[in-house]
């Protein structure tokens, strides 16, 4: 058995994703490479004046491509997106779940769950009374149903979990799925995240919190991580799922391997419900933990996909954290980009899409840009790959995910080359 530091090695063998930048992971990656924003005005419902009316919306998605009409009616859009992304990933991995279902699990995180169902139910409750509620609204609402419906749709019977750690949810889903495989609890996991929060309730709530950008006349330019003019994040929806697999199992079935999950780190800020650790100590500790788990040093890191939400406090705090974890001089030598500049902030799904993009960046030797970075903040003084992507040979990369409440999750990913040492 191939081991890393005496433990089972975990590799990525499949990718699936539906995002504001595309309805497959390949389309998403192509648009992110090209620096194309997926943010647009909300047209599905009327947004009152004064409430942010721009978002990263999935466009042209038909759940009936992945399930029958009856199943679609009983479930929330967030479950539709999760099933679709997982189905794509399983197909990409050429994974036969039925042949080994008890050894294949599913871990799909979300920050909110079935928010659309909740909003519809509240309106019906007060407009028509409790007797008119959909009998499936509870099961459509609860957060675990993204993973549960995916497991039932695809037939996995291994570990089934849901992380609900806000914007760190899917980063933790990937990290914890890696731990399950290392521990021998599963041989493969469908791991990632999903969110579908584009509702009046969410736009109003995040808007009154002053968390969202107010650049309402410039949707495509509103998400601008590390820029001096950033004023909040863009609420977005979507799902990304990765197939993680024990290395020898993947090799035995002749799977195409994208990358290896080398390390995982977690920490908590214990600071504030929404504001990040301003010094950066605790996110830095998660990065250091992940590098130690991977057996690498800051000198080995060739790229960081930042959490980079486009909030004034968050981006400057992450910059300080990167300097603490990678060293002041080292941090200035490592390219960092935020693909939220293109996708917006997919909340609980964001860590998974960024991990997938990091994998593809290493595979293709191309770093995605941070778009809309026209007036750099002096407090954010690293190499953020501004506005145009670039070619780069990267063997080891970091993907950061930080969530409301002080949840920090960091993955260290390694490029896979044919013939990598056993």
Measured on CA atoms in the order 382, 384, 385, 388, is the torsion positive or negative? Answer: negative
Instruction: Kindly state the DSSP code that residue 40 receives in the 8-state scheme.
Output: E
3-class DSSP state for residue 89? Answer: helix
Rounded Cα gap, residues 375 and 378, in angstroms: 9
* Residues 384/337, Cβ–Cβ less than 8 Å: yes
Q: In this structure, what are the phi and psi dihedrals at residue 193, rounded to the nearest 5 degrees? A: -155, 165
- Reading the block at residue 153, the tokens are 């749709």
- Contacts for 104 with CB less than 8 Å, ≥ 6 apart: 95, 97, 156, 157, 158, 186, 187, 188, 189, 190
- Kind of pairing between the strands at 336-337 and 407-415: unpaired
- Reading the block at residue 290, the tokens are 């992940």
Closest CA to 240 of 93, 83, 61, 114: 83
Catalytic residues: 167, 307, 345
* Residues 56/236, Cβ–Cβ less than 8 Å: yes
* DSSP H or E run through 192: strand 188-195
Only one residue has tokens 């009616």, namely 73
- Determine the straight-line distance between the first and last CA of the chain, rounded to whole angstroms: 8
- Contacts for 231 with CB less than 8 Å, ≥ 6 apart: 213, 214, 215, 310, 312
Q: In 10 A of CB 3, how many CB atoms?
A: 12
* DSSP H or E run through 342: helix 340-343
* DSSP H or E run through 194: strand 188-195
Q: In this structure, what are the phi and psi dihedrals at residue 102, rounded to the nearest 5 degrees? A: -70, -15
- Reading the block at residue 236, the tokens are 């977005």
- Contacts for 214 with CB less than 8 Å, ≥ 6 apart: 52, 231, 232
Measured on CA atoms in the order 279, 284, 286, 288, is the torsion positive or negative? Answer: negative
């Amino acid at each position: 058995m191939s081991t890393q530091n005496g433990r089972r090695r975990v590799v990525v063998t499949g990718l699936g994703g539906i995002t504001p930048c595309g309805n497959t992971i390949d389309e998403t990656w192509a648009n992110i490479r090209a620096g194309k924003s997926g943010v647009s005005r909300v047209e599905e419902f009327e947004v009152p004046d004064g409430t942010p009316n721009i978002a990263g919306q999935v466009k042209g998605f038909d759940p009936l491509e992945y399930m029958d009409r009856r199943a679609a009616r009983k479930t929330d859009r967030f479950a539709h997106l999760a099933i679709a992304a997982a189905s794509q990933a399983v197909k990409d991995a050429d994974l036969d779940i039925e042949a080994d279902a008890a050894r294949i699990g599913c871990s799909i995180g979300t920050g909110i769950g079935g928010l659309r169902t909740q909003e519809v139910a509240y309106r019906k409750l007060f407009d028509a009374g409790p007797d008119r509620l959909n009998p499936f609204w509870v099961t459509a609402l609860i957060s675990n149903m993204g993973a549960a419906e995916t497991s039932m749709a695809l037939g996995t019977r291994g570990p089934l979990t849901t992380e609900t750690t806000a914007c760190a949810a899917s980063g933790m889903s990937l990290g914890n799925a890696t731990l399950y495989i290392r521990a021998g609890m599963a041989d493969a996991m469908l791991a990632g995240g999903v969110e579908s929060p584009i509702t009046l309730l969410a736009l109003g709530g995040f808007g009154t919190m002053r968390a969202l950008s107010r650049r309402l006349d410039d949707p495509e330019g509103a998400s601008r991580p590390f820029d001096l003019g950033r004023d909040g994040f863009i609420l977005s929806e979507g799902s990304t799922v990765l197939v993680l697999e024990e290395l020898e199992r993947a090799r035995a079935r002749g799977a195409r391997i994208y990358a290896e999950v080398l390390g995982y780190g977690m920490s908590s800020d214990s600071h504030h419900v929404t504001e990040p650790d301003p010094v950066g100590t605790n996110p830095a500790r998660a990065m250091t933990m992940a590098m130690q788990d991977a057996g690498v040093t800051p000198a080995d890191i060739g790229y960081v996909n930042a959490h980079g939400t486009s909030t004034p406090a968050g981006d400057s705090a992450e910059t300080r954290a990167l300097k603490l974890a990678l060293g002041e001089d080292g941090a200035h030598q490592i390219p960092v980009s935020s693909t939220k500049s293109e996708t917006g902030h997919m909340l609980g799904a964001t860590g998974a899409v960024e991990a997938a993009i990091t994998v593809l960046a290493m595979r293709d030797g191309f770093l995605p840009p941070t778009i809309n970075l026209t007036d750099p903040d002096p407090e954010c003084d690293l190499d953020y790959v501004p506005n145009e992507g670039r070619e780069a040979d990267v063997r080891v990369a970091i993907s950061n995910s930080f969530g409301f409440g002080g949840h920090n999750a960091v993955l260290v990913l390694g490029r896979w080359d044919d013939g990598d040492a056993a």
